[in-house]
């Protein structure tokens, strides 16, 4: 009788150990192999939003979802999304495709902390059009000399050159908004098809902090409304 009770007890212990081991193995297998954590928005995120890590939480999804849809490039961590800009609505609770979270420079030409503004400019006042994207330029206001009456004995006042800002160029455009001609080396100029040249520069697009953009807009307004010129030089390295 005792032998039978001992056998039954050992069998129950073995069965319990087997069930526990199976459940433990299954839980770890699903967590480590079949499931994966993906960042999802805590709430709907509208377009043109600078993303931060605290906008997302991690949720588990079947790994097969990621493997089968690898072409969509789901973000795998909040770090993949932080400092990017939403290019569309990011729906709460849904994995985020990296195609919907653009680097700022690709989405809006410049860092999110900077405003982007276009400056109307002719080649003669813009280094002859020899300005490339990525270069730094200096902006100046040139106050024209007033017309001098020959009968006026007062000396002619000196012209004033007022420094406005040093800013990076993010685009060089023609009058229709198309990419303008970029400077070429001598070898490139000889091989350039004269019939397919891009338009001449008519606009510089620059990036700057908001307070600097205000100064630039004031200089543009003065060049249009007052007796001033807006001039551009290449900044020293």
pLDDT in tens, the chain (237 residues): 666 665 666 666 666 666 766 666 666 655 555 778 899 999 999 998 999 999 999 998 887 766 654 555 889 899 999 999 998 899 999 999 888 998 887 788 888 889 999 999 988 999 988 999 989 999 999 987 666 665 555 666 667 899 999 999 999 998 888 888 777 543 344 445 555 677 888 999 999 999 999 999 999 999 888 778 999 999 998
Token pair belonging to 169:
């160029």
pLDDT of residue 150: 59
Structural contact between residues 214 and 163, judged by C-beta atoms closer than 8 angstroms = no
What residues does CATH 3.90.1210.10 cover in the chain? Answer: 28-106
Nearest to 101 by CA among 40, 169, 170: 40
At 74, give phi and psi (nearest 5°).
Answer: -60, 140
pLDDT of residue 191: 44
Burial class (CB within 10 angstroms; exposed 0-12, middle 13-18, buried 19+) of 10: exposed
Check if CATH label 3.90.1210.10 holds for domain 28-106: yes
Structural contact between residues 81 and 40, judged by C-beta atoms closer than 8 angstroms = no
């Amino acid at each position: 009788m005792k032998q039978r009770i001992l056998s039954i007890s050992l069998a129950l212990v073995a069965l319990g150990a087997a069930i526990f081991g199976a459940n433990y193995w299954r839980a770890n297998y699903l967590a480590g192999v079949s499931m994966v954590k993906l960042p999802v928005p805590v709430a709907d995120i509208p377009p043109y939003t600078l993303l931060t890590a605290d906008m997302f939480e991690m949720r588990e999804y079947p790994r097969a979802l990621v493997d089968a849809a690898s072409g969509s490039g789901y973000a795998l961590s909040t770090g993949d999304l932080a400092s990017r800009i939403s290019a569309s609505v990011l729906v709460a609770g849904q994995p985020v495709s990296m195609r919907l979270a653009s680097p700022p420079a690709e989405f809006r030409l410049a860092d999110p902390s900077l405003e982007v503004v276009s400056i109307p400019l002719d080649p003669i006042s813009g280094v002859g059009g020899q300005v490339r994207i990525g270069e730094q330029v200096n902006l100046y206001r040139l106050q024209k000399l007033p017309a001098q009456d020959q009968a006026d004995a007062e000396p002619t006042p000196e012209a004033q050159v007022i420094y406005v800002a040093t800013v990076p160029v993010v685009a060089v455009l023609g009058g229709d908004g198309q990419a303008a001609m970029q400077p070429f080396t001598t070898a490139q100029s000889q091989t350039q098809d004269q019939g397919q040249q891009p338009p001449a520069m008519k606009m510089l697009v620059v990036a700057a902090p908001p307070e600097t953009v205000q100064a630039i807009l004031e200089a543009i307004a003065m060049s249009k409304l007052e007796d001033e010129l807006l001039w551009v030089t290449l900044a020293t390295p």
